[in-house]
Amino acid sequence: MKVKLHRIKERFTKQEIIDILIADIILIFAFAFILSTGFGGIFSISTTKDFFHNFIVYLSISSIVVTLSFILHELMHKFAAQHYGAIAGFRTSINGLTITLLTSLFGFLIGIPGATMIYAHNFNKEQEAIVSLVGPLTNFVIFGVFLLLKFIIAPLSTSYLGQLIYLGFFINILLALYNMLPIFPLDGSKILAWNKEVYIFMMAVIFVLAWLVIPSILYIIAFMVVIALIFSLFYRHILFQ
C-alpha cells in the first residue's frame, strides 16, 4: 500500500489535483447551465423555479458524465506521456476558465478550462501521436459503453437514467470528434502528422458513428471548427499565460 501511495504522489502534485478539480467543477457547472436554459442562456430563463429544478437535475447528470469524459481524457494523455519518460501535468488557465463560464451563460460552450502540459525533449512523431491518440480513444470507448447502455436500458429512455446515458454518449462522441480535428494543438493534428492512414481511419469511424447518433452533426462540426480555431489562436499565447 505504501508503494502504491508513493507512486501516486510521484504522478500527481497537489497543485495539479487542485487544477483538475477546478476545471472539472467549472465544466460541470457550464454544462448544467446550458442544459437548463438551452440556446440563449440567461436570456432564456422563464421562471426561476423551473430553472433551479432543471439546474439541480442536470448538475447531478453533468457531474457524472463530464467528470468521466474530461478527467479520463486528460489523465490518459498524462499517463501515456509519463510512460515515455516525459514530465506531464494538467494546468488550468484563468482566461480559459473565464471563457468557459461566460460562453455557457449565453447558451453555448467554448470549453477550454486547461490542458495537460507535456514537457519532453526526446519524443519522436510516433510517441507524440500515441500520447495524443489515447485521449480521443478514451472518449470513443466511453461513448461505446454509454451507447451500449442505451440499447440495454431502452425502456428508461425518458427517465433520469436515460438522460444521463444520452448525455454520456453525446458528449463523448463529440469530444472524440473535436479532438481529432486536424487543427493544432488538437490531438488530430499530431496524429495526422505521424500517420495519415491511421488518422483517416479513426476520423472516418468517429464521424460515421457521430452522424448516426446525431443527425445535425454537420452543423455541430462547423461550430467545433470555429472553437478549434479560436483555441489554436490563443494557445500558449493568451490562454495559458
* DSSP letters for 165-222: HHHHHHHHHHHHHHHTSSSTTSHHHHHHHH-HHHHHHHHHHHHHHHHHH-TTHHHHHH
Contact 177, 207 (CB under 8 A): yes
Q: What is the rounded CA–CA span in Å between residue 136 and residue 187?
A: 8
Q: Which of 10, 16, 74, 126 is catalytic?
A: 74
Q: What is the rounded CA–CA span in Å between residue 98 and residue 118?
A: 23
Helix intervals (H) in 69-159? 72-83, 94-105, 125-152
Q: What is the rounded CA–CA span in Å between residue 56 and residue 53?
A: 5
With residues binned 3-state (H G I as helix, E B as strand, rest as coil), the percentages for the chain, rounded to 5, are: 75, 5, 20
Look up residue 117 and give its DSSP letter: E
Q: What is the rounded CA–CA span in Å between residue 104 and residue 35?
A: 10
16 is catalytic: no
Give φ, ψ of 88 to 5 degrees.
-140, 140
Q: Which three cell numbers stand for residue 125?
A: 512523431
Catalytic (active-site) positions: 74
